[in-house]
Amino acid sequence: MNSTCVVVTTAEGGNPYGCLVTFIVSASIQPRRVVVMTSYENLTHEVIERTGNMAINLIPADKPDWLSHWGYQSGRDIDKFEGVEWHPGENGCPVLAEATGHIEGDVVDTIDGGDHAVRLVGLTTAQLKRPKSATLSMIDALAHGWEEPNVAPPPPR
């Protein structure tokens, strides 16, 4: 399955948090909603649990280095926002200056998906800054050799 690669961000106590997410899909046109799945292991997941909101930043196709920066390091260990240009969106969540575009939203509902929480997110803002630019997808991520970390391989058949 292909899906868009995004950086999901949130903010708490003036501090920014964010991680790479590829488990994301459209859910509803009216009202506008998407489904975003975050791993229980991630710091960003923990914070979203409390803030109940997020910004979803589209990754430019020419920024494959964002995969490792946002997807292979935890905010528990390093400040992923150091040296990254960003500003608070309308809901206060970090909007990355170099993102192709972004949407913001509030968590409407959450269910337990297994090792990820499945969040229905109602959109409050959408901005496409570079309409003609391609965005990074999961196929691109796999082509660059990046896979979902911390996920045990399936049992042998």
Does position 75 bind ligand FMN by CB under 6 A? Answer: yes
Segment (H or E) for 16:
strand 15-21
Task: Give CA separation, 11 vs 17, 40, 51, 82, 94, in Å.
Answer: 6, 18, 7, 15, 7
Does position 71 bind ligand FMN by CB under 6 A? Answer: yes
- Amino acid identity of residue 105, one-letter, is G
Q: How far is the CB of 55 from ligand FMN (least distance, A)?
A: 14
Q: How far is the CB of 31 from ligand FMN (least distance, A)?
A: 23
How far is residue 44's CA from residue 11's CA, in Å, rounded to a whole number?
Answer: 9
Does position 86 bind ligand FMN by CB under 6 A? Answer: no
Half-sphere exposure of 86 toward its Cβ, with a 13 Å CA cutoff?
27
Among the listed residues 9, 10, 16, 23, the single contact to ligand FMN using CB under 6 A: 23
Does position 66 bind ligand FMN by CB under 6 A? Answer: no
Sites of contact with ligand FMN (CB under 6 A): 19-23, 37-39, 42-45, 67, 70-76, 141, 146-150
